[in-house]
Amino acid sequence: MGTNLKFKKRKSQLKSINRVLLKHFLLLSVLLICLLEVICFLIVNNTAKSTAKERLIRVGREAAELVDDEAEATEFIRNYRQDGIIVYVLSQSGEVLLPSDETVWNGDMREIIEKLDKEDKESAQVIYSQDNALNYAMRLDYGGGSYLVATYSLGIINGASRLLLVYFVIVGVTVLLLTAMVAYNVSQKLSSGLKNLSTTAVRFSEGDFAVNFANAEYQELADLSDTLNSVRDEVKKSGDFQRELIANVSHDLKTPLTMIKAYASMIREISGDNPEKRDKHLQVIIDEADRLTGIVNDVLNVSKLSSNLDGIKFKVFNLTEFLYGMLNKFDYLQETQGYTFLVDVDANLYTRADEEKIGQVIYNLLSNAVNYTGEDKTVYISLKRNMTAERIKLTVRDTGKGISKEDLPEIWNRYYRIKENHARPVKGTGLGLNIVKIILENHSFDFGVESELGKGSSFWIDFPAVPEKEEND
């Protein structure tokens, strides 16, 4: 409850992807639009002004060249009035000399003379802005010393710039609206994909293993879906394994426990005083206790191997000697129960593997051969190097009933048992071959079985052969 509250509190402090995306998208768009528009505006405005300046100077100079021909100069000046360029030729006192049909000029002559004086006297010309207009003035020799003044009103450019600004605002707002729509759409799609996955995950967490995480719209979400699907499969597998384990183990434990209890009661009530009977009954109890130990060990091994708790510890060892050591453990069967182990083994074959785990594998194969071999109670074991001395093949063969084609692929699975009575010395749990399979797969060793009904089965493992000198690596 406490953690739930904390979780809820933390959740309420989190930001929604939708809002964050929208906010950042809009912020970025506003910034970009403003930046672009300011740059555009400055470029347009400056270009317009510098073009106007160049034109003003050009018209002024052309007019200055025409002043000697009054009529032509007047016409020239008149023509440019329509374009907004106003040219006057003035005397030192400000009287209008040209155009010849005008008499009044409303400017300040002193100011122009001052501006020209401030400039480099040699150039005798000046360009300056004043009263929202661009002005060009130059000294002339005409009329014994006069001035040409050309003016261009910046009002036209400023008006055009204002219009441009209005356009920019309209375009900006439109782009912003479009961006907002796109951002909203994208964020909506993205978050709806995530919401779907999250809803599916909630169903999954409630134990529905039939859920399917799916998102084909975006690569990253599709990858996440795939990962979640494999998590689902793993969780399901491990859940199945646990259920299967509990069901099988409790079933397997029940029989020996019942037997132990029954024989213990029998000793107490019937055979306690009869040493012969008592010993027989005690032997059953010991056998069943061994069986219990076997079951518990197998279960522990399978769960340890399945959860990969201890990895494979590779080392080089003498496989021939190791196999002989394993066979010694079965000596009591030869001595007391008439089993024959026919062994054909090459001397001093070395391999690189996890010795302890390979011991488990060989023990399981030998136990099965003993359990399932035929009436002759014979088991054939061979360990042979191949022609190129690169591989070693271990074969454990029995003469039993064999395994049918349908059962062959299944025997490696957990708890798979072919319906059969095996009242034999080494009792199975249905986990033996599964342990063999997991260990050999973890080693990446090839292994398999050939079997024919009525003739027997032959289990084999392919080991890598390594030189003896690597033994202490």
Q: Which one of residues 208, 234, 279, 420 is an interface residue with ligand ADP (CB under 6 A)? A: 420
Taking the C-alpha atoms of 265, 267, 273 and 276 in order, what is their torsion angle to the nearest 10 degrees?
Answer: 160
Side chain identity at residue 10, one-letter code:
R
Is 368 a binding residue for ligand ADP by CB under 6 A? The answer is yes
Which of 457, 461, 465, 466 lies at the binding interface for ligand ADP (CB under 6 A)?
457
Q: How far is the CB of 10 from ligand ADP (least distance, A)?
A: 49
Sheet harboring 378-385: ordered strands across? 340-345, 378-385, 391-398, 456-464, 446-452
Which CB sits closer to ligand ADP, 179 or 399? Answer: 399
User: Quick one: 200 or 371, whose CB is closer to ligand ADP?
Assistant: 371
Q: Closest CB to ligand ADP among 221 and 379?
A: 379
Candidates 21, 139, 434, 466; binder of ligand ADP (CB under 6 A) is 434
Q: Is 417 in the site for ligand ADP (CB under 6 A)?
A: yes
- The smaller minimum CB distance to ligand ADP, of residues 200 and 301, is found at 301
Compare residues 179 and 371 and give the one whose CB is closer to ligand ADP: 371
Q: Which of 232, 284, 237 has the alpha carbon at shortest distance from 257?
A: 284
* Residue least distant from ligand ADP (Cβ): 428
The DSSP element (H or E) to which 147 belongs, if any, is strand 146-153
Q: Report the alpha-carbon distance of residue 304 to residue 302 in Å, rounded.
A: 5
Whichever of 60 and 432 has its CB closer to ligand ADP, that residue is 432
Indicate the residue among 107 and 374 with the shorter CB distance to ligand ADP: 374
C-beta separation of 346 from 385 below 8 A: yes
**By the rule CB under 6 A, 136 interacts with ligand ADP:** no
Q: Measured between alpha carbons, how far is 330 from 337 in angstroms, rounded to an integer?
A: 11
Is 418 a binder of ligand ADP (CB under 6 A)?
yes
- Give the range of 40-48, 156-164, 365-373, 385-393 binding ligand ADP by CB under 6 A: 365-373
CB atoms within 10 A of CB 291: 20
| Nearest residue (CB) to ligand ADP, 26 versus 418 | 418
Residue 288 CB, shortest distance to ligand ADP, in Å, is 16
Out of 116, 399, 432, 443, name the contact with ligand ADP by CB under 6 A. 432
Looking at 158-166, 200-208, 344-352, 415-423, which segment touches ligand ADP (CB under 6 A)? 415-423
| Contact call for residue 87 and ligand ADP (CB under 6 A) | no
Cβ burial of 372 (10 Å; 0-12, 13-18, 19+) is: buried
Q: Is 252 in the site for ligand ADP (CB under 6 A)?
A: no
Number of residues that bind ligand ADP (CB under 6 A): 21
Does 458 participate in binding ligand ADP (rule CB under 6 A)? no
Q: For residues 67 and 370, which CB has a smaller minimum distance to ligand ADP in the complex?
A: 370
With CB under 6 A as the contact rule, the residue among 148, 411, 440, 465 that binds ligand ADP is 411
Angle subtended at Cα 472 by Cα 467 and Cα 473, rounded to the nearest 5 degrees: 85
For ligand ADP, the binding residue among 224, 430, 442, 462 (CB under 6 A) is: 430
Side-chain-side CA neighbours of residue 359 (13 Å): 14
SS3 141: coil
Axis crossing angle, helix 155-205 with helix 17-66, rounded to the nearest 10: 160
Beta strand pairing call for 391-398 and 456-464: antiparallel
Nearer to ligand ADP among residue 75 and residue 410 (C-beta): 410
Q: Determine which helix (DSSP H) or strand (DSSP E) holds 24, and give its type and residue range.
A: helix 17-66
- The Cα 161–Cα 181 span in angstroms is 30
**Considering only residues 85, 316, 349, 369, which one is a binding residue for ligand ADP as defined by CB under 6 A?**
369
The answer to whether 368 and 433 have CB atoms below 8 angstroms apart is yes
Q: Within a 13 Å sphere around the CA of 102, how many CA atoms are in the beta-carbon half?
A: 19
Q: Provide the minimum distance between the beta carbon of 266 and ligand ADP in the complex, in angstroms, as a whole number.
A: 28
Please give the span between the terminal C-alpha atoms of the chain, in angstroms, as a whole number: 56
Nearer to ligand ADP, 45 or 395 (CB): 395
Binding site for ligand ADP (CB under 6 A): 364, 368-369, 371-372, 398, 400, 403, 411, 416-418, 420, 428-434, 457
